[in-house]
């Protein structure tokens, strides 16, 4: 079984041929797709897409680090957990830190990242982490949060330097 563990079926470029995209993925051997939420304000659309493809597609709820400043600041772990009550929601994210583009202030990204981690810990659902040019802070925050209690997740390989751990 092949699983596309990170796709964005809600992105506009797929809107006119979503059935075709999912069909071609199936023809290529992809049996399951996880469409990743990047804006909580667009979560309803992500969830609706997951519901359209009954045994093929599931989703996450989250805020991409680029959107941390533009999404509602009041999004807390409890807010994310409430949104994740639907059986099609299987994780939190895409969340993390992206210092390459600096689309959102670092403090906003870090606050959002910690809220997602707390939700993952409390709801016992995995975290989907995005990190770019922020490996040291990502590793530090993950370590600090893990010390508060275990959680699971998927993240890219971090480039850690001996001086940073």
Q: Which residues pair with 98 in a beta bridge?
A: 132
136 and 164 Cβ atoms separated by less than 8 Å:
yes
For the domain spanning 2-154, the CATH number is 3.20.20.140
Distance from C-alpha of 23 to C-alpha of 113, rounded to nearest angstrom: 34
Q: Average pLDDT, stretch 53-81?
A: 95
pTM over 0.85: yes
pLDDT the model gives residue 165: 46
Give residue 164's pLDDT band: very low, low, confident or very high (50, 70, 90): very low
The string of pLDDT tens digits covering residues 122-162 is: 999 999 999 999 999 999 999 999 999 999 999 876 655 55
Structure tokens at 150: 């275990």
29 and 68 Cβ atoms separated by less than 8 Å:
no
Q: Average pLDDT, stretch 85-91?
A: 98
Distance from C-alpha of 82 to C-alpha of 141, rounded to nearest angstrom: 24
pLDDT the model gives residue 110: 97
Q: Is 74 exposed, middle or buried (0-12, 13-18, 19+ CB in 10 A)?
A: exposed
- Sign, CA dihedral 36-107-133-140, equals negative
The string of pLDDT tens digits covering residues 31-62 is: 999 999 999 999 999 999 999 998 999 999 99
111 and 77 Cβ atoms separated by less than 8 Å:
no
Q: Average pLDDT, stretch 6-16?
A: 93
Lowest mean pLDDT: which of 18-22, 26-30, 61-65, 161-165? 161-165
Residue 152, number of CB atoms within 10 A of its CB: 11
97 and 65 Cβ atoms separated by less than 8 Å:
yes
pLDDT the model gives residue 162: 53
Distance from C-alpha of 2 to C-alpha of 112, rounded to nearest angstrom: 31
Domain ranges of the chain: 2-154
The string of pLDDT tens digits covering residues 94-120 is: 999 999 998 999 999 999 999 999 999
pLDDT value at 86 more than 60: yes
């Amino acid at each position: 079984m092949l699983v596309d563990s990170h796709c964005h079926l809600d992105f506009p470029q797929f809107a006119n041929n979503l059935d075709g995209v999912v069909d071609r993925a199936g023809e290529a051997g992809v049996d399951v797709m996880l469409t990743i939420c990047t804006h909580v304000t667009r979560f309803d659309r992500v969830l609706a897409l997951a519901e359209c493809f009954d045994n093929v597609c599931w989703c996450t709820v989250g805020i991409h680090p680029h959107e941390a400043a533009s999404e509602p600041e009041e999004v807390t772990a409890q807010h994310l957990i409430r949104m994740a009550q639907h059986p099609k929601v299987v994780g939190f994210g895409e969340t993390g830190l992206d210092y390459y583009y600096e689309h959102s202030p670092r403090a906003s990204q870090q606050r959002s990242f910690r809220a997602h981690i707390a939700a993952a810990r409390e709801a016992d659902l995995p975290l989907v982490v995005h990190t770019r040019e922020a490996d040291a802070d990502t590793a530090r925050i993950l370590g600090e949060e893990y010390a508060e209690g275990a959680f699971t997740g998927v993240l890219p390989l971090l480039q850690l330097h001996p001086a940073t751990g």
